[in-house]
Structures are given as C-alpha cells and as structure tokens.
Amino acid sequence: MRLNKHIVLVCAALLLMACGTKKGAIGNQQPTVSVPAWHTCLIQGARATVTTNEERLSANVTMQTVHDSMLVISVMPLLGMEILRVEATPIEVTAIDKFHGRYAKATYADINRRLTPPLNWDELQQICTADLPTGSERARLVYSFGEEMIELVIEYPARQLDVPVRVNNIRLNKYTQVDVSKIL
C-alpha cells in the first residue's frame, strides 16, 4: 500500500531527524550548553519533506516542546488530520501510527542499535525548536537507514516561545503496541 510506505518514511525521518545534524545542520561544531532563553516552544505549519532514492513526500508538521522535558511532533499530510505523532523525552521515544492503529516505544539505545549516527535528545530538541547553531530557517538533514539514503528538509515558520503547549501523552490503550522495527 503506497500510503503505508509514506507513513513509514515520514515516521522514520521524524524519529531519526536528529541523526544527520552533525553533517547538515550543525557541521563540525560542538553543541553548546547554556541557560535556556525559553521554557516552551511551539512551531506550527512547518513543512517537512522526506526524499529517498525512490520517493518524495511532504507534510505539515507541528512541533511542541517543553525545554529538556518532552516534545511532541504531529505529522498532518492530509487536510490537517494527524496521522502520525511522535512523543519524545530525554529517555524514550514513542511513535504513534494513528492511520494503522499501532504504536512503538523505544529508548535511544534501542533506536541507536538500528541507526548510525546515533540519535541524541539534545540534537532532536534543537531541530524541533528551530534552535540551530546556523541560525537558519531551514534544516537539511541527510542520513542512511540501512542501504537507503534519506534526506529530510524542514522549513520553519516563526517559532513562538513561552506559550502554552499541549504535550500530554496520548492514551495508548486504543492502539496496538508493536516492535519499533515495525514502525521504522
């Protein structure tokens, strides 16, 4: 099913979007540690485009973040309907495929067994808050997933800082839990 492949690609790209930041968004710079200038961040209407060897898919994305605590990525490719949701904390990532009624939970160690370079909470938070050291309003991330090269381009609208965000965990009891490899 073509739509299923698109959902898997978007999910993989969003779960892994921080993987290539050292190559694309950050360069060779070391992440800096500083006192945050914000507590919450909301980015609505970002445009994410995933390109693989065979396909290209674009979707609207909303990213809500509570600094060093939790972030929620909502993927809405069809008329504002959320079909994929990624909830991440510094400890674990949960991907909810609403279209197929399933979800997967994984620690960063679990994810990093399947990925290179490793996924990192700090870089993921930078991407989801448009807080890139480059200061750019566009991020281009390139990484490999197995033998396939995946490029993720995110175009950021203005971010809203210290506004109310809804990062409550979704109720998972109506979804079937699957292994993370089924979602990726």
Give me the pLDDT at residue 135, please: 67
Query: Given this model, what pLDDT does residue 16 score?
Result: 42
| Residue 11: predicted pLDDT | 47
pLDDT at 69: 94
State the CATH number of the domain containing residue 101. Answer: 2.50.20
Structural domain includes residue 142: yes
Can you give the residue range of the structural domain that contains 125?
2-28+36-169
Total of domains in the chain? 1
Residue 88 lies in a domain: yes
E strands, the chain, where?
Answer: 40-51, 56-66, 70-76, 84-88, 92-97, 102-107, 138-145, 148-155, 160-161, 176-177
Is residue 102 one of the residues assigned to a domain?
A: yes
In a domain, 177, yes or no: no
Predicted local confidence at residue 35, as pLDDT:
57
Ranges of residues in the chain with a pLDDT under 50 are 1-4, 6-27
- What pLDDT, on a 0 to 100 scale, did the predictor assign at position 48? 94
In a domain, 184, yes or no: no
Instruction: Kindly give the pairing relationship between strand 176-177 and strand 102-107.
Output: parallel
Instruction: Tell me, yes or no, whether 179 lies in a domain.
Output: no
